[in-house]
Amino acid sequence: MSKMPIISLPDTAKALGESGGRVNVLWQQPDSLVFMARGREYRSEFHINPSDEVMYPVKGDLRLHYRTEDGKEEIADVPEGSVIYTPAGTPHSPRFAPDAYLLVVERKRREGEVDRFQWFCPSCDTLLHEETCVVSDYRADPVSKAYQKFFDSEEFRTCKKCGSVMPKP
């Protein structure tokens, strides 16, 4: 890869759509990790990232669900062509369509940093389950891996408080 890559966003989105994948990493450097994401129709969890995130919907609109410091769920509407800054540690859940594309700017994780993925009960909002992982290479698609574990376990999807079971898609 060139030291100073210039990458077409429309071409990257087109290739990602055709591949059927969910993420395409443009580059990974200690202070700059950039990838294109395609929407996940099943997205329900909140990601807690040790890195800041900048999210730019290049095609389609983004509804960024997030949780405030006192645990309340809010939604930030980010229309196509706008950009949102999300500070490190903010539980957030980017909801957008499978034919929509989001450019995400983070940084490579530092030694000892852990990403967390949290699901909450749709009935009573109790924490259902948390997956954690060390993201050493974003090309491994850590979000898909977290969902695979969550969907594969009915126990993880069952609320310990009210008994509701979050269905798998």
Binding residues (CB under 5 A) for Fe ion: these are: 121, 123-124, 126, 159, 161-162, 164
In the complex, minimum distance from the CB of residue 168 to Fe ion, in angstroms, rounded to a whole number:
17
* Cβ proximity to Fe ion, 44 vs 164, nearer residue: 164
In the complex, minimum distance from the CB of residue 119 to Fe ion, in angstroms, rounded to a whole number:
11
In the complex, minimum distance from the CB of residue 76 to Fe ion, in angstroms, rounded to a whole number:
25
The token duo for 139 is 């090309």
* Cβ proximity to Fe ion, 105 vs 127, nearer residue: 127
Radius of gyration of the chain (CA): 16
* Cβ proximity to Fe ion, 96 vs 120, nearer residue: 120
The token duo for 153 is 């376990």
Burial of 52-82, coded b for 16+ CB within 10 Å and e otherwise, reads ebebbbbbbebebbbbeeeeeeeeeebeeee
* Cβ proximity to Fe ion, 75 vs 124, nearer residue: 124
In the complex, minimum distance from the CB of residue 124 to Fe ion, in angstroms, rounded to a whole number:
3
Contact 83, 4 (CB under 8 A): no
Query: Which residues fall within 8 angstroms of residue 35, CB to CB, at 6 or more apart?
Result: 23, 24, 25, 26, 103, 104, 138
